Structure 1
């Protein structure tokens, strides 16, 4: 079977009109046509115009005052935007997620889990904490697994802060460590 020839009109060949190339008209008009109709403006009372102008000016002033942040200490023109964005981050903090404490797991932690618990006693951390990852010589996914296991066992609690999960030691785990003598009462 030999291929049938395709006529040029049906082919996929692009011509300049299809791609939108502008070709100027050969004859340009010498001037724009004159507008012959004249519209008359209705007469407006001068006193009403002044009151309308003052109303418009007052509305514009109110609008501009809404756009400008209140200056509270010279933090600059970006203070309003910064405050708005910080409030949004604070609003996105989720509730703390915690489970019942499993004392058996707390008493039989691996060395990596023990280190994670000791850091959680000091401060909140996320699975992407560079200091923890470097010290344990693991990747973020493994630290996330360790943290989630400790969360399910009630040793850690988690809360969502923006897009990050922050883990910390639960009060029950801290109290159990004090009861076992691992922590002093003042440390808890």
Structure 2
């Protein structure tokens, strides 16, 4: 049963990436570390930064428009969609679970062809996560707000390390007399 779901999802993902070649190359660059955005930063954006800062924006459902609008535009002939980044991420995660929706390559790896001779190693979950990120202009949001997101991530990680280093890792043992009797 699980294999059928994975095959169906993979077929849908193949169609999406076949029709959007630029997303294939961008995905390859991000996964291989050849892009300003790292997997860790993207994951931080959708899991922590978006929750802390209540990130929401509007996008045009027109596939050619990759702009992000902070306010709903007054244009009557376009359909806009409101993205509440954290809640949309949680909804996707709840409907797919980590196996089929994951920023990182944590489960069964597959070979995904960018071109006839160009292959990346990824997972169905990672492909699905990035399809969601591309269609909702999350990658564009991350690029536009890179410095703020990066600084927030670094600040939080350094705060966690300072807090961790202040913890006391020993327990004092009290010596006392103990009487044991055997019957």
TM-score range, shorter chain: under 0.3
Q: Which has the higher helix share?
A: 2
* TM-score relative to the length of structure 1: 0.21
Q: Given the two structures, how large is their TM-score scaled by the length of structure 2?
A: 0.21
